[in-house]
């Protein structure tokens, strides 16, 4: 798999590659202000602090260069305020990367997650060898599941995750797939 573009314009917001430590202050605000919103679904947020944010940003640069994970900040057009993040990462089958996303609570309900996932999926399909993209979420996370449904992904699998990864999780993973569009 090649590498996607570092900046993807989505009109009123941009997906932009995390820049490492220059993003530290803005990332700290994003994570802190999103903590309670994410806590039911993302176990890692509980202990997130300046040190873990610094580590995340440093790893984001290294893993991007290695072609393992493509982490993007979702930034508002104009002032660049961070609205959330999305990513594409290498899954077990190299033909099908997985996408993930989350938003600052003030950015929800505006279609940003759906449009981010659509833009990132389209970008991944420009890369050689990518035949499909997947989105996985816990069955109880209905809002996350609405994104692939809106984008025309097909549900391909439900299965147990033990133990559940986060407090609100049901322990059942739902996997959705979108095949590469025909040329």
**pLDDT on residue 104:** 98
HEC profile for 121-177?
HHHHCCCCCCCEEEEEEECCCHHHHHHHHHCCCEEEEEEECCCCCCCCCCCEEEEEE
Q: Which residues of the chain have pLDDT under 70?
A: 1
pLDDT at position 96 is: 95
Indicate yes or no: pTM above 0.85: yes
The domains found in the chain, sorted by start residue, are 7-179 (3.40.630.30)
Cis geometry, peptide bond prior to residue 145 (ω within 30 degrees of 0): no
Residue 63's closest CA among 105, 114, 101, 20?
20
Supply the pLDDT for residue 41.
87
Which element (helix H / strand E) includes 28?
helix 24-38
Distance CA 29, CA 143 (A): 23
CA 47 to chain centre: 19
Distances (CA, A) of 28 to 6, 17, 53, 57, 155: 21, 16, 7, 10, 34
Question: Among 135, 147, 143, which Cα is nearest to 40's?
Answer: 143
- 3-state secondary structure (DSSP) of residue 51: helix
CA distance 152 to 89: 20
């Amino acid at each position: 798999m090649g590498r996607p573009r570092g900046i993807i314009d989505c009109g009123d917001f941009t997906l932009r590659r995390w820049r490492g430590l220059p993003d530290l202050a803005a990332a700290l605000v994003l994570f802190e202000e999103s903590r309670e919103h994410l806590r039911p679904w993302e176990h890692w947020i509980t202990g997130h602090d300046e040190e873990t944010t610094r580590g995340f940003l440093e790893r984001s640069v290294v893993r991007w260069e290695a072609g393992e994970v493509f982490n993007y900040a979702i930034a508002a057009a104009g002032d660049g305020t961070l609205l959330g993040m999305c990513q594409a990462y290498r899954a077990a089958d190299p033909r099908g990367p997985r996408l993930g996303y989350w938003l600052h609570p003030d950015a929800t309900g505006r279609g940003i997650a759906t449009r981010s996932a659509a833009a990132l999926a389209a970008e991944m399909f420009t890369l050689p060898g990518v035949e499909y993209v997947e989105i996985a979420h816990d069955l109880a996370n209905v809002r996350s599941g609405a994104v692939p449904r809106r984008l025309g992904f097909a549900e391909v699998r439900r299965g147990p995750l033990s133990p559940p990864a986060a407090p609100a999780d049901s322990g059942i993973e739902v996997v959705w797939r979108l095949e590469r569009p025909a040329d």
